[in-house]
Each structure stands twice: as C-alpha cells, then as structure tokens.
C-alpha cells in the first residue's frame, strides 16, 4: 500500500469520527486501558495459563499440555465430590432464600405500624461485610464458647455443649444458614419491588369475582412475581455456586472433606498448591457451568413470564 493511500485511509477515519467523538474516545481511553489491563487481560491470560502445567514451585518446568489440565480435573474423584457438595449447598441455600425472601416481601408489602423499622432491621445482614459475617457465625457456632450452644443450653434443648461445625453432617447446612442470612435481604427487596409493581386493579377485580386471599396470592401475586424470582434465582444461584468466603472463614473446607466445595478446591489448588494451570482450568469449568445454569434458568422461567 502506498503512503498516499495510507494517508487517505487515515484522513477518512478522521472524517468519519467528528471532533467530539474523538475527544470522548480519548478521554475514555485511560479508563478503558486500565480496565483492559486489570480485567480483560487476566481473563484471557488465565485461559492461556490453563493450557500449561504451571506450578509456581517448579518455575523452570512449564510445559504446554493442551487440554490435560481440564481432563485431569474432570477425571478427579475429589472434584466430582466437591461438585456434589456445591450442588447440595446451592439447592439448600437458594430454595431457603427464595422462600424466606418471599415471606419477608409479603410482610413488608403490608401496611402496618413499625413497617419502616422492620424494613431497616431486615436489611442489616446485607449491610454487614462478608468477613464480619463469617466471623460472627464462627463465634455463634463455636462448640466451646458459641452463642448457639449457650442459648440452646439455657432453653434446656441440649444438656451439654454440642459440636456444630466439627460434625461433618451439619457443616454444609450450617454454612448454608450463614449464607442465607446474609443474602435474604437483597432477595426480599428484589421480590418486594416486583410485588409493588403489580397493578392494584387486578386484586380489586379478583375481589369482585369472589377470590379469597389465598386465591389472590396463587393466581395474581405468584405469577406476577416471576420476573423478580427469575432475577433472585439467577443471582443467588451464581453467588452460591461461586461462594468461597464462608467456607474459608468457618471451616477451611473441613472437617475432613465435609465442606470441600468447588470454589474451595480452586483456592487450594491455586493458592496453596500453587498449581495455576489446574486452578485456572477449574475456574473456567466453574465459569462455564455458572453461565450455562444462568442461561437455563432464564430459558425456564423467562418463557413463562
């Protein structure tokens, strides 16, 4: 290409974008560069890393292994066990969040004295930082000095202090409980907002037709809440699948393998074993599954909205 034609292309490009557009692009450029550096680049770099046997403790031997890391992860029994635990945790958490948030939204949708105070109280768990939330529940569940044992003992429900997080059968439900406590307020607000948008005419018409409160709830409220529910289901499912903080703070994956979920395994593989190759592969598998699940939920709920 001649210099003349290069100049012509450059001139055409300049003509195509006016001064305002060019200035705007120039101003956005620094922020976009930073975003590209700290967000886009790591995403693609971790994909690249997932094709190498990259172990920080063996920095001089980093062979390209194609899809071996993915195959290794998918053929690991421990990984599938952690998938099972992740599914259990997600089902427990999301169903509890949906039900409790609906009940709270129904309560807050009514007009009664003290509604604002209750609304504020309901929001408190959401406002507490995640780490503080984790430490709070660690203290509550502690088998030696925890508040849960103290309360149950005073109520006469137990005769001596009980082991909570150290009991493998209880660990996952207890962590799910702490997660639900933190997540319910946001879910309740989302459902409440949807509830507020239901036209009052529908309820008036239903009353005229002789529908009782339960029938109005089943035939008007619930169907109208689908958009809000969809949002809650997608958001909370993604949060639960990827959740790590409480597992780290409360049990560190234990006791034994009782709370070994996928997010925890990714952390161990990447930051404890320093195996960035398999850690990245696991992260991509988790991301793909999360996206697929979100798509499935949208399809399932979305077509009925």
Partner 1 sequence: MSNKSISKFARREFLKISTAASAIGAMGASGLASRAFAASGTVNFMAWSAAVDLVKSHVAEFEKSTGINVNYANAPWSNYRDNIVTKFVGGAPLDMMWVSDAWLPEFAEAGWIKPINSFDNLMKYNDEAEKFCTDSMTYKGQQYGLTYYTDFMGFMYDESQLKKAGISTPPSTWDEVTEQCLKIKAAGISDYPLMLALANESWLMNFIAAMVYSNNGRFTDEKGNSAMQSPTEGAVKALQWVVDAVNVHKIVSPACVETGELTGLKAFQSGNHVFALEPKYRMRPMNDPKQSKIAGQVKQALMPKGNGGDHNTVGWMRFHGMSAGAAANPEQAELTAKLIEWFGGRANGEYKFQKYLFTDVGAGFGVKPLFDDQDVKDAYNAYADVDMIKAQQGLALKSDVVTPWYGEWQETNASAWQTAILGRSTAQEAMDKSGTRWNDLKKEFS
Which residues form the interface with partner 1 (CB under 8 A)? 19, 23, 26, 56-60, 143-144, 160, 163, 165-168, 251-257, 260, 268, 271-275
**What's the min distance (Å) between Cβ of 37 and partner 1?**
14
Residue with Cβ nearer partner 1 (59 or 210): 59
Half-sphere exposure of 165 (CA within 13 A, CB side): 26
Residue with Cβ nearer partner 1 (161 or 203): 161
**What's the min distance (Å) between Cβ of 182 and partner 1?**
21
d(CA 177, CA 186): 15
In our burial notation (b when 16+ CB lie closer than 10 A, e otherwise), range 18-34 reads eeeeeeeeeeeeeeeee
* Encoded tokens for 151: 């309360």
Residue with Cβ nearer partner 1 (103 or 252): 252
Which of left, alpha, beta for 76 (phi over 0: left; psi -120 to 50: alpha)?
beta
**Helix (H), strand (E) at residue 41:** helix 41-49
**What's the min distance (Å) between Cβ of 271 and partner 1?**
6
Residue with Cβ nearer partner 1 (62 or 220): 62
d(CA 287, CA 51): 16
Closest CA to 243 of 122, 71, 94: 94
d(CA 30, CA 266): 33
**What's the min distance (Å) between Cβ of 145 and partner 1?**
9
Closest CA to 190 of 137, 231, 222: 231
**What's the min distance (Å) between Cβ of 139 and partner 1?**
11
d(CA 295, CA 208): 40
Closest CA to 97 of 197, 218, 240: 240
Residue with Cβ nearer partner 1 (160 or 303): 160
**What's the min distance (Å) between Cβ of 60 and partner 1?**
7
d(CA 256, CA 267): 16
**What's the min distance (Å) between Cβ of 131 and partner 1?**
14
Residue with Cβ nearer partner 1 (58 or 207): 58
Residue with Cβ nearer partner 1 (78 or 218): 78
**What's the min distance (Å) between Cβ of 23 and partner 1?**
6
Residue with Cβ nearer partner 1 (227 or 254): 254
DSSP 177: H
């Amino acid at each position: 290409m001649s210099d003349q034609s290069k100049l012509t292309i450059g001139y055409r490009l300049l003509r195509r974008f006016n001064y305002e557009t060019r200035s705007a692009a120039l101003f956005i450029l620094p922020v976009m560069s930073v975003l590209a550096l700290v967000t886009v680049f790591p995403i693609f770099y971790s994909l690249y890393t997932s094709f190498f046997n990259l172990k920080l403790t063996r920095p001089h031997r980093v062979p390209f292994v194609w899809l071996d890391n993915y195959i290794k992860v998918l053929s690991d029994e421990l990984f599938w066990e952690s998938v099972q635990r992740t599914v259990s945790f997600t089902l427990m958490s999301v169903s509890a969040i949906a039900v409790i948030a609906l009940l709270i939204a129904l309560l807050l949708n009514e007009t009664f004295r003290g509604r604002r105070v209750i609304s504020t109280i309901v929001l408190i768990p959401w406002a507490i930082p995640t780490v503080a939330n984790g430490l709070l529940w660690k203290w509550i569940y502690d088998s030696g000095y925890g508040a849960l044992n103290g309360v149950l003992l005073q109520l006469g429900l137990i005769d001596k202090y009980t082991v909570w997080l150290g009991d493998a059968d209880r660990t996952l439900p207890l962590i799910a409980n702490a997660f639900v406590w933190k997540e319910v307020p946001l879910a309740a607000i989302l459902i409440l907002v949807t509830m507020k948008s239901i036209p009052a005419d529908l309820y008036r018409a239903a009353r005229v037709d002789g529908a009782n409160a339960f029938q109005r709830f089943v035939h008007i409220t619930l169907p109208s809440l689908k958009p809000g529910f969809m949002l809650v289901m997608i958001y909370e499912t993604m949060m639960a699948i990827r959740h790590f903080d409480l597992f780290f703070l409360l049990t560190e994956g234990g006791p034994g393998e009782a709370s070994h979920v996928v997010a925890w395994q990714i952390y161990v593989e990447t930051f404890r074993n320093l195996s960035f190759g398999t850690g990245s592969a696991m992260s991509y598998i988790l991301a793909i599954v999360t996206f697929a699940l979100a798509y499935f939920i949208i399809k399932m709920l979305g077509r009925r909205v």
